[in-house]
Structures are given as structure tokens and as C-alpha cells.
Amino acid sequence: MQIYLDYSATTPPRSKVVSYVNQILREEWGNPSSLHQWGQRAAMTMEIARTQVASLINANDPESVIFTSGGTEADNLAILGVARQYDTPQHLIISRVEHPAISEPVRYLEGLGWEVTRLPVNRQGRINPLDLKAAIQSNTVLISIIHGQSEVGTVQPIEELGNIAHAHGILFHTDAVQSAGRVTIDVQRLPIDLLSLSAHKIYGIQGAGALYVRNGLKIEPLLLGGGQEGKTRSGTQAVGMIAGFGLAAELAATEMIAESSRLIGLRDRLFDLMANCPYLVPTGDRLYRLPHHVSFVINYPFETDKTEKVTGKMIVRQMNLAGIAISAGSACHSGKLSPSPILLAMGYSEKEALRGIRLTLGIETTLEDIDWTAMVLKQVLNRLMPKLAIVN
């Protein structure tokens, strides 16, 4: 069997999306900034996609959607686009469990003199809104909190956090790359000024993303050039990728409620099947959790020299040999043998933070996949750490 359970890293593009992108690349390859019919057809294709992406998050004005090359650029545009409006360094707030696409541009600003507060999280990876209230200063200009954490699946209390920001007149951004298309996001109701999205997390094609910018809010561009995307993101747009993003967003919006319910059932079944495994401890919040997300830390009831060498990456390799794709935490960290900063922030030790694994489910995941994966994972763990017998 070949089982893919790494949907938080990337999703396989839908066949409908691939077919549509191929059609666009063949027929609507014009530059959308050109005034002739070839350009205008490409521009119309892009505006259809803009409307589709806006609808996914219930943005009432499609022009509030700025297309980018992906979630990382969208996050950078949000953070640096706000920061560049100020002549002198100010204060901003993030959490300790942000994606590197947030934490790294913030670290860059810190080097320029910006003051940064990184909010702590509890053992489940959730922020206490009281900590946000206490962190706000007179010069706080931006708060950025991840919506759904990619490594441990925890969903933050975004509405409450955003309300605190707005009560103090502070802009609020959220990275919703993992959440959009999986949980309902309504930017007309939620206190969100900026929101990041990515096509390849919702069965689109890698190379397209978007930043939602609330009407009336202006941010400084990162790229200077022809002034595309409302003068916020210069560069000729990748029309084919963007068109695919639009279709993927439309399909996700249509199917989200039913698909999320199905995934929650499979997610909880996998947690339940592994509950009798003494070598795994679930991570993240079980209640406030992404519907497709399962994660653990490897536990050693009897520590030995042999078991000390067992890491999350080792489990990933063993599962891969069995034809099952999982990951050692976030894909952006899984290539490095270093403790997960997310697990460290949640209070795990450095040894434990090397032992995280993540299984993320998607549209092609079946009940049989879950049952087979649970059986294989138990076998792998029992073989590597034979001190305890796993109950079948």
C-alpha cells in the first residue's frame, strides 16, 4: 500500500485543477497588464480567481485579495508591509509557535531595532488572551498570531485575540495557511486585518498564495516594479497558478463542511487506535484542533542508549519504507536534526522536541488507510523499542 499522510506539507493538486491550469496555460497565456484581448482575457481569468479566493474567506471585496507566490511571501508582505510604514522602530507581538515565515521576518525587524514580544503558550500550544493584553504597549502596531499550527494542529482563539488588538487600535494578522478550506473563516465577522493563504495547502498548485488586506488598509510593497496587484505586489502574475488557486478555493468552500466532518472522524479514530501505544504521547489541543491533524511525541518508558537514538526523523524513514508518508513535525523543520522550536515553546525538553511526528489527512485518506497506518506505526515502534509490548 502507498499511503500519503503529509497533507500539511502539501496537498496533491486536484485533477480538475490540473486540467484547468493546463487549459489556461494553453489559451490564456497573455500578460494581464496588456490592453489587447490576449491580456484582457488573462486579466479576466485572474479576477475570476480573485473572487473565488475572496469567497473562501467571505471577503466582500475581491480587490482585498493580493496574489503572491505563496504563503511565505504573503506572511512577509503582511509583517514587513506594515513595518515599512514607520520611520522608527515600533513594537509588535507574535506567539512562540509561529511558522518561520512569520518568525524570521520578525527576527529581521528585531535586528533593525524593533521591539518584539513572543507570547508563551500552554502545554497544548494555546495562547492565553490575558498574556496578549499584558503584552500590549503604547507603541504596539501589529499583532500576528497563527490560526492553525502546522506542527501540532492547535487552533488559536483568533476572534478573542483579534478583538483585544482592535480594542487597542492595533492591526491584527493571522497566518491561515493550514486552516483555510478546512475550517470556516469569515473575515467580515472576525477582527482580522490581514490574512495569509496558500494554494498548495488546498489542492491547488505550488507557486500561488494570497494576502487578504482589509478595505482601507494600506501596506508598503516588498517588490518595486510595475505596480501590479493594486501597487502592492509588483511582477507579472502567474495566471495559470492563480487560476488553479481560484478553482481549488471554490471546490474547498463547497466541500468544506462535509469533508472536515469526515476528516475529524478519521483523525479521532487514529488517535483512538494509538491510545494504547505506550511509546506515543499526543501533542496539541484535542478540542481546538485542525480537523485533519494528528501529532505525537515519541515516549520512552524505559530509556536506554538505543532508544535515545530514536527520533521523529527515524520514524519517518521507517514509515516511508513501509510506503506511508508522514513527517517529523513541520516540513520546514523536518530536514534538520534540531529540536522543534514549537515543542520547546510548549514545554517539552530538548530530547522530546527531537521526537515529534505528524500525520495529516486529506481528501484521499480512507478508513482503511487509517487502520493500516496505525498497525504499521505500532509495529515500527515495537521493533525500535522492544522494552514494552504494544497491545494490539
> Hey, what's the cell of 59?
471577503
Q: At what angle do helices 239-273 and 367-384 cross, to 10 degrees?
A: 60
Long-range contacts of 188-195 (CB under 8 A, 24+ apart): 188/58, 188/59, 188/60, 189/58, 190/158, 190/159, 190/162, 191/159, 191/162, 191/163, 191/165, 191/166, 192/158, 192/162, 193/217, 194/78, 194/82, 194/144, 194/219, 195/57, 195/147
C-alpha cell at 196: 495569509
| Active-site residue, selected from the candidate residues 264, 332, 384, 388 | 332
* DSSP 8-state code for residue 6: B
| Residue 47: burial class (beta carbons within 10 Å; 0-12, 13-18, 19+) | middle
List, in sequence order, every residue forming a beta bridge with 296; answer none if it has no partner.
Answer: 282, 357
Contact 154, 125 (CB under 8 A): yes
Query: Are 57 and 183 contacting, i.e. CB atoms less than 8 angstroms apart?
Result: no
Per-residue DSSP letter, 127? P
Provide the angle, in degrees to the nearest 10, between the axes of the packed helices 239-273 and 37-56: 20
- Is residue 277 annotated as part of the catalytic site, yes or no? no
The catalytic residue positions are 332
